[in-house]
């Protein structure tokens, strides 16, 4: 496995719409190695999600890390996942806003409104179909990563830039009140 170079805001790959992964390529060593390398890269940089475009691969692939429930120790809101050719469908108009960060926009956080409940469809690393409803913070993570695959970054989704801050200032002044907000 390898730690991959993460594209930073301004690199054209972050604004490119990614191409689907052909089902017959999923089991191939190149795709499987990319998945493993993406997990290694995400772990190295402390991310909870990573899209292939962020590591200079314009294909429709994302990975997410285990997402713990902050209110229940040892409980996870979502488990580590791989989604190829993801599709997100909104299941409500209700929004929630979390402070988001991004490995491609390091050292910044900003409150981003997202749809609270989604349906996620795609394929897993074995090529099996994924079709599940996702709510709350995990839904935010999937929307953030699918946005990357569509050439969109979290700054594009912010409605109010007064919450945009450097991570160091976020930790000092905003983190205590950074929980989700119903929009």
The region, left, alpha or beta by phi > 0 then psi within -120 to 50, assigned to residue 45 is alpha
Question: Tokens standing for 140?
Answer: 């935010």
Distance CA 76, CA 54 (A): 25
The catalytically annotated residue of 87, 100, 145, 182 is 145
Give which of 49, 54, 53 is closest to 139, Cα–Cα: 49
- Concerning whether 65 is annotated as a catalytic residue, the answer is no
Question: Judging by DSSP bridges, how do beta strands 81-90 and 181-182 pair with one another?
Answer: unpaired
* CA distance linking residue 14 with residue 9, whole number of Å: 7
Range list of H helices, the chain = 29-45, 137-149, 154-157, 167-169
Q: Are 145 and 49 in contact (CB under 8 A)?
A: yes
List C-alpha distances in Å: 60 to 18, 32, 53, 71, 148. Answer: 5, 14, 8, 32, 9
Catalytically active residues, by annotation = 145
């Amino acid at each position: 496995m390898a730690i991959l170079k993460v594209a930073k805001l301004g690199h054209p790959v972050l604004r490119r719409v990614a191409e689907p992964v052909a089902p017959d390529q999923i089991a191939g060593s190149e795709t499987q190695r990319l998945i493993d390398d993406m997990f290694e890269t995400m772990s190295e940089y402390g991310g909870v999600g990573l899209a292939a475009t962020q590591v200079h691969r314009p294909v429709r692939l994302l990975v997410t890390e285990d997402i713990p429930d902050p209110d229940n120790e040892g409980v996870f809101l979502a488990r580590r996942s791989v989604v190829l050719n993801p599709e997100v469908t909104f299941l409500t108009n209700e929004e929630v806003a979390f402070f988001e960060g991004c490995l491609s926009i390091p050292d910044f956080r900003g409150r981003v409104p997202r749809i609270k409940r989604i349906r996620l469809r795609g394929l897993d690393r074995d090529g099996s179909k994924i079709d599940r409803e996702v709510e709350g913070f995990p839904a935010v993570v999937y929307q953030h990563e699918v946005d990357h695959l569509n050439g969109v970054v979290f700054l594009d989704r912010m409605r109010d830039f007064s919450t945009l801050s450097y991570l160091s200032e976020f930790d000092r002044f905003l983190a205590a009140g950074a929980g989700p907000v119903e929009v």
